Structure 1
Amino acid sequence: MEPRGRQCCCLWSGTSDPYCIVKVDNEVVARTATVWKNLNPFWGEEYTLHLPMGFHSLAFYVLDEDTIGHDDVIGKISLSKEWISSNPRGIDSWINLTHVDPNEEVQGEICLELKVLEEPQKRALHCHVIEARDLAPRDISGTSDPFARVSWDGHALETAIIKKTRFPHWDEVLEFDLEEGVPGKESRGSQVSVEVWDWDMVGKNDFLGRVEFSLDALQRSPAKGWFRLLPFPIAEEDAGGKLGALRLKVRLAEDRILPSMYYQPLIELLVESILCPAEEDVSPLALLEEISSVESRQDVATKLVKIFLGQGLAVPFLDYLNLREVTKTTDPNTLFRSNSLASKSMEQFMKVVGMPYLHEVLKPIINRIFEEKKYIELDPCKIELNRTRRISFKGSLSEAQVRESSQELLKGYLSDIMESIIGSVEKCPAIMRVAFKQLHKRVEEQFPEAEHEDVKYIAISGFLFLRFFAPAILTPKLFNLRDQHADTRTSRTLLLLAKAVQSIGNLGLQLGHGKEQWMAPLHPFILPSIARVKDFLDKLIDVDSENAGTAQPRTLFHPSVTIKEGYLHQRKAEGPHLLPRFTFKKRYFWLSSETLSYSKSPEWQVRSSIPIQRIRAVERVDENAFQQPHMMQIITQDNEGQLHTMYIQCKNVNELNQWLSAIRKASICNEHMLPSCHPGAFRGNRWTCCLQPDRTVRGCSRTHSAVTLGDWSDPLDPDAETQMVYGQLLLARDKLRSVQLRDEGGLRVFLPWPKGFLGLGGSPAPHTASWDSSPTAPSLWG
């Protein structure tokens, strides 16, 4: 999903510190940064969510963060799957927030068996209320005191109250006698209602959800299984904009991923485009660029990059596109300046394979800039002297003093950034270096003249500096360099640094020609950096192309490469009982595709390791289990078949979701994954979630391995990537027909395709719109 949780226009009085949380079927999957003291916040955050086939709704809640007490809920927007699906091009609009009524915030499922008993002496409606799971917490403790009420024809029967649980086990049978001698009463469509309530000693009971059945349907066929609890059928009240509005961009991509053999002809054609390029400009890759819209080209580029990474042909693929782009360019000043497929593919390629490199180069410096929060300003029109009092103990500084101080600070930060980049040749992934080497070669061949000596450098630096390093410096949160957006002061510092890095990446071509002449004091630093950048680029492309440019199919990183790392608080569940109070130890964790390891610190030599293949579930833990928020559990199985649980606490909900997603994706191919688990802990001789006294009892909650966040570390899935490309071709089949009529050479391209594969003739293509059960298949953009 892409919540470009864009902007919220809030019209209430006073001030707020708003943030937004995203829920999928009541599971929190993302939290935006807080925008402090702002009634018109801009988040600009983007998420990709991989979702299961059966998800129902996507909800956005806007809250006001309070440093003391609970955060206040301002309003929400709830979008059903059906409504999102009805907008195939996506949603991009302002939507008014609605009120949040706790009694309508229902969640969870109930397990029932309902049937009509036909016996000689009586007819009865038999209602077996078995259990419920994942009910909404209504009490301060984070639990509820649930009971079920079954109603029919004005009569009601209730189960016992199970206190302090969201996973009650009733296992009770409630029966209604069906009246005899009243012809057709049952056939008049009377409804059987099953409601779940939270019992309160003082005040009224809280509604937890309901489900309805038709008695006619039950007479024909009994109902048995898990049923989703629904709110009362009350239409959500639009507050008419009084609570504010949220601008969202949401798009649902819904595909069924077919077996690999169905995609092999398309993959072969794409590979043939680069291995055996035709003289005519009619290859499938060329046609993809022609038929794809500007809006979809980034998606197409990302999928193609991953397809060719999976084939071990990423460098030839980029070389093919870059050669086409360079050959068509006559003016070197316009080279790679458009959003062509070549430009987008290079940009996405750097993000897919280079994010660990980016983090290693920039993260320490970005962290220091955030921590120091220096006031820096060069533009005379923006200098605020009243903000400079913290710089000097002697009071406010003059404008000249502010500019001088800012210049020195910027030069210091910029020097550290450039030193880190220039010294990173060996850290840059080899496959990136080979791709740049090929790009350098193609540009040099096209523009061999002496006056175009710098073009081959600008082609590389334009991608590496202008489309990779500079955007990450400008918005570090969007590149996962920071958890929060920068405040106003830090944001301005980052903007000035990004401008300077862009100027260096442009090799100083625009220096002195722009409107921002107040950047001139940095020119004496920027100009000497240009020669160092050229030397850096020469070293970067000095790499063996034969061995460095290939990758194993279906892999992206070496198994030992760290996908995610950081400090977490860890506790093993050892022994038959857990103590009432838990001691969580701070440990540094590393996740690779083979192991999850941890030690006391990053420098500690002794590490404990968990093989990824032994993981059986990675799930959230209820807050009431430990009286601690942001908890997860990792359930593993040893060689003897025994299950072991490790509990981990994260510092916030975003970190929790990132680790959940990363470990789930690393263990996606594991066998014998658990279908259920306990979201609580076993202490006091019972589970805190379902209150069962048996430690080995089946889990009371479903596992959620299919809900994950998408990012650069997603495993390669050629079938899913190719399905998206095929979908683009399918949507553009009319345009493809016109291309075929325009150029007969195009017919030769498509003849090898299975008849009807693109819907160009014969039987319909094997395409259907529904969710694949694989968490890496569909994406929800919002």
Structure 2
Amino acid sequence: MGFHNLSFYMLDEDTIGHDDVIGKVSLSKEYISSHPRGIDSWINLSRVDPNEEVQGEISLELQVLKEAHRQVLCCHIIEARDLAPRDISGTSDPFARVLWNGQVLETAIIKKTRFPHWDEMLEFVLEEETIAGAPIAVEVWDWDMVGKNDFLGRVEFSLDALQKAPLKGWFRLLPFPSTEEDAGGKLGALRLRVRLAEDRILPSRYYQPLIDLLVESILCPPEEKDDVTPLAMLEEVCSVESRQDVATKLVKIFLGQGLVVPFLDYLNLHEVSRTTDPNTLFRSNSLASKSMEQFMKVVGMPYLHEVLKLIINRIFEEKKYVELDPCKIEPSRTRRISFKGSLSEAQIRDSSLEVLKGYLRDIIEAIVGSMQKCPPVLRMAFKQLHRRVEDHFPEAENQDAKYIAISGFLFLRFFAPAILTPKLFNLRDQHADTQTSRTLLLLAKAVQSIGNLGLQLGHGKEQWMEPLHPFILSSIGRVKDFLDRLIDVDTENETSENQSWTPFHPSATVKEGYLHKRKAEGLHLVSRFTFKKRYFWLSNETLSYSRSPEWQVRTSIPVQRICAVERVDENAFQQSHMMQITTRDNGGQLSTMYIQCKNVNELNQWLSAIRKATISNECMLPFCHPGAFRSNRWTCCLQADRMVRGCSRTHSAVTLGDWSDPLDPDTEAQMVYKQLLFLREKLREKCLEFTSKETTLDEGRGAQKDNKGQWMSAAARLLEVIQDLEQAHKAFEHQEEEEAAAASTAHS
């Protein structure tokens, strides 16, 4: 929450040695905050000035002491933390330098640490004629035996202020004032979309009225189809741009309530009932279509991985040249296909056709054979959708509508996008290269055509796809049969809806995979043999691991015992992408397990996932050691006392909005509230419109209504909930301000 800058670095990857930095874009928190709707633009890269690449804080005590015949400026240089690593080892050799009025004093050099402890007193005798106006600067440098020292940051103070009152505390290290001129776009530009969202999540009881209001629309559906419920009102005032966010939050809220199938059925019924042409069904970005799409991503990702991962990996590994479009065929690239030289266009098309049909055959086989792998809650939602479409379009000429409604979501909005961009669905760690990407595009087009039951074949501009049409048409019957079996769900599942959303049970796995672990206790030597490959599972209840996924014996750590989840400096084990998990046993004893991930993205995902699971733990530590205790000292701060307090602050930052997030009803409800707050004026207009209609109707009937016992309009009830939540937020904000003021007074 307290970050100051967000920087993006563009690098040139080198196989040998360090990657070269091309340039960077740096955005201050103030600049990002000044764009509440977000930044979306091309921004020129600027040169990277080493004197600007600073981080960390320094602990100082500064005061002016008056002696008999002179004044002395006393600078107590205590320690620093989280300094930038400047050496290959991932550390620095820091020393502090104090500058005043042309005089310079320096501390000792502390070798190989980003958390130096100096505890040195540096003194200047102040001369009367030079006291006024001369600032005091404290700088931190990395000492180098060869070449010039590296700048690590500085902080500046006014001597006039020090003479009035001493200063003591932690101060953020700042860069030298920049003298670098803008590169003027010579280094290129980076397209960025950045938005800062900071929210205060209130205790659960404050969101319950909002959740109850939304759930009421499902549990107590309106007697007349034209009656307005709070949920229908939310859909009506919600903008097209925000529907995807709102849909994701609503899906998670109703999953948490065990009512996701009735919720989707409610939206789908509204969507179907107002559609006259089955060919346009769910083609718009309505709340119903967005909710179904997000619902599949939230509950169906493990299913998607089981169906597609093996074939996607094979496509990436084989890297076959595939092309059907005669305008894009490059004969020179086909030498990989034939050692006899370049093939003709006809040979390339024939070869490509066979490769595509082979891949498609495996994809369709995997899909139509996946009925038992599909989550029951997903099958129930499709069954309800099938029923609604069949009832609304019973005509013989519309018999395919009930199939297209399901396949439109399952094939066009789930399988096909995952084939097109596997990285976005966590099927691959990296995006495909150009050649593989073209293969995936052609396969995605074919899968879309199959999902459309071949209705669009021959009507598009891409006539060169025609050689695949026979295969596509031959697959349609199998797909229909698969959909019939998919929605053939037992009535037992229908009556036990609360048990059907198993992906979000507290004991359900949130994240899993192979990692390398090492306990802090035991061997002092560091070697690759001290790290053991283990398969980890994380749920909201336990973090467990074993030798392999099939291994029966697991070691489990209760999540409630975890009190810190932090990164580890590279110099601790001479290994990158490391994190540590600190736990407390029943006797209060702390123990640490070190874990290595295969890359920085996996490290961030595990950090975020475990922090989410421990977000309610009351035993979390405020400080930790980002190093390890080896050779009788901490590698980070070089302290010899194993039990000394951590030299770095712990963190709780998590990545929000991931499809695999565990349910957090308070966060979801807060996001819905923020959307409603943004739409408050629209709701007020609807409320007035509704009230005027009711008044006119009552006058026509000559009836007198008692408002106390009557059902209020949806807009008015939503406005009431918004107002209550707004007041609660203001009360918490006022309380925080009072606590901060009290802490400041106590400190001074």
Provide the TM-score with structure 1 as the length reference: 0.86
Write 1 or 2 for the structure with the bigger share of helix.
2
Q: Give deviations 1:174-228, integer Å, cap 9, x for gaps.
A: 3344557x7xx86x56533221111223333221011223344445554333222
Map of 2:105 onto structure 1:
157
Map of 1:674 onto structure 2:
621
The structure 1 residue matched to 2:519, chosen from 557, 566, 572, is 572
The structure 2 residue matched to 1:130, chosen from 49, 70, 78, is 78
Q: Give, in angstroms, the shift of residue 422 of structure 1.
A: 1.4
Deviates more, 1:649-658 or 1:496-505: 649-658
Alignment of 1:201-220 (within 5 A): 201-220=145-164
SS at 2:195 equivalent: strand
Map of 1:486 onto structure 2:
432
Alignment of 1:694-709 (within 5 A): 694-708=641-655
Q: Give, in angstroms, the shift of residue 319 of structure 1.
A: 1.4
Which letter maps to 2:463?
Q
Map of 1:496 onto structure 2:
442
Cα contact 2:240–2:285 (8 A) shared by 1: yes
1:140 aligns with 2:88: yes
Alpha-carbon distance between aligned partners in 2 of 1:340 and 1:754, rounded to the nearest angstrom = 23
Map of 1:60 onto structure 2:
8
Alpha-carbon distance between aligned partners in 2 of 1:239 and 1:404, rounded to the nearest angstrom = 51
Structure with the greater relative contact order (CA < 8 A, sep ≥ 6): 1 or 2? 1
Alignment of 1:211-230 (within 5 A): 211-230=155-174
Which letter maps to 1:497?
L
Cα contact 1:191–1:213 (8 A) shared by 2: yes
Cα contact 1:431–1:550 (8 A) shared by 2: no
Map of 1:665 onto structure 2:
612
Map of 1:192 onto structure 2:
136
Q: Give, in angstroms, the shift of residue 96 of structure 1.
A: 0.2
Q: Give, in angstroms, the shift of residue 579 of structure 1.
A: 4.4
Alpha-carbon distance between aligned partners in 1 of 2:250 and 2:179, rounded to the nearest angstrom = 44
Q: Give, in angstroms, the shift of residue 309 of structure 1.
A: 1.7
Alpha-carbon distance between aligned partners in 2 of 1:400 and 1:767, rounded to the nearest angstrom = 73
Deviates more, 1:606-615 or 1:245-254: 606-615
Q: Give, in angstroms, the shift of residue 476 of structure 1.
A: 0.1
Alpha-carbon distance between aligned partners in 2 of 1:519 and 1:767, rounded to the nearest angstrom = 62
Aligned CA distance change for structure 1 residues 281 and 768 (closer, same or farther; 3 Å): farther
The structure 2 residue matched to 1:633, chosen from 580, 596, 614, is 580
Alpha-carbon distance between aligned partners in 1 of 2:296 and 2:162, rounded to the nearest angstrom = 58
1:98 aligns with 2:46: yes
SS at 1:496 equivalent: helix
Aligned CA distance change for structure 1 residues 537 and 568 (closer, same or farther; 3 Å): same
Map of 2:677 onto structure 1:
730
Alpha-carbon distance between aligned partners in 2 of 1:513 and 1:753, rounded to the nearest angstrom = 47
Alpha-carbon distance between aligned partners in 2 of 1:765 and 1:617, rounded to the nearest angstrom = 29
Alpha-carbon distance between aligned partners in 1 of 2:433 and 2:168, rounded to the nearest angstrom = 54
Alpha-carbon distance between aligned partners in 2 of 1:365 and 1:282, rounded to the nearest angstrom = 47
Alignment of 1:479-558 (within 5 A): 479-543=425-489, 544=491, 545-550=493-498, 557-558=504-505
Alpha-carbon distance between aligned partners in 2 of 1:123 and 1:454, rounded to the nearest angstrom = 92
Aligned CA distance change for structure 1 residues 217 and 588 (closer, same or farther; 3 Å): same
Which letter maps to 2:195?
R
1:689 aligns with 2:636: yes
Map of 2:240 onto structure 1:
294
SS at 1:252 equivalent: coil
1:174 aligns with 2:122: yes
Which letter maps to 1:245?
A
Aligned CA distance change for structure 1 residues 267 and 122 (closer, same or farther; 3 Å): farther
Q: Give, in angstroms, the shift of residue 304 of structure 1.
A: 1.4
The structure 1 residue matched to 2:26, chosen from 47, 54, 78, is 78
The structure 2 residue matched to 1:609, chosen from 556, 563, 586, is 556
Deviates more, 1:593-602 or 1:651-660: 593-602
Cα contact 1:132–1:167 (8 A) shared by 2: yes
Q: Give, in angstroms, the shift of residue 73 of structure 1.
A: 0.4
* Structure 1 segments unaligned to the other structure (5+ residues): 1-52, 773-782
Q: Give, in angstroms, the shift of residue 132 of structure 1.
A: 0.9
Name the Cα RMSD after superposition: 2.7
Q: Give, in angstroms, the shift of residue 643 of structure 1.
A: 2.4
Q: Give deviations 1:729-776, integer Å, cap 9, x for gaps.
A: 22222222222233326962244467583499x979749999x9xxxx
SS at 1:743 equivalent: helix
Cα contact 1:61–1:73 (8 A) shared by 2: yes
Aligned CA distance change for structure 1 residues 551 and 147 (closer, same or farther; 3 Å): farther
Q: Give, in angstroms, the shift of residue 546 of structure 1.
A: 3.1
Q: Give, in angstroms, the shift of residue 571 of structure 1.
A: 2.2
Q: Give deviations 1:209-266, integer Å, cap 9, x for gaps.
A: 1122334444555433322211112266321000000011111222222233332322
Task: Report sequence identity in percent.
Answer: 79
Would you say how many aligned residue pairs link Structure 1 and Structure 2?
A: 713
Q: Give, in angstroms, the shift of residue 606 of structure 1.
A: 3.5
Alpha-carbon distance between aligned partners in 1 of 2:216 and 2:25, rounded to the nearest angstrom = 47
Which letter maps to 1:137?
P
Alpha-carbon distance between aligned partners in 2 of 1:714 and 1:393, rounded to the nearest angstrom = 49
Which letter maps to 2:714?
V
Alpha-carbon distance between aligned partners in 1 of 2:365 and 2:639, rounded to the nearest angstrom = 59
Which letter maps to 1:148?
A
SS at 2:351 equivalent: helix
Q: Give deviations 1:696-753, integer Å, cap 9, x for gaps.
A: 2222122222244641122322222222222222222222222223332696224446
SS at 2:246 equivalent: helix
1:444 aligns with 2:390: yes
Cα contact 1:758–1:765 (8 A) shared by 2: no
Alpha-carbon distance between aligned partners in 2 of 1:168 and 1:582, rounded to the nearest angstrom = 31
SS at 1:757 equivalent: helix
SS at 1:111 equivalent: strand
Alpha-carbon distance between aligned partners in 1 of 2:64 and 2:205, rounded to the nearest angstrom = 48
Q: Give, in angstroms, the shift of residue 580 of structure 1.
A: 6.8
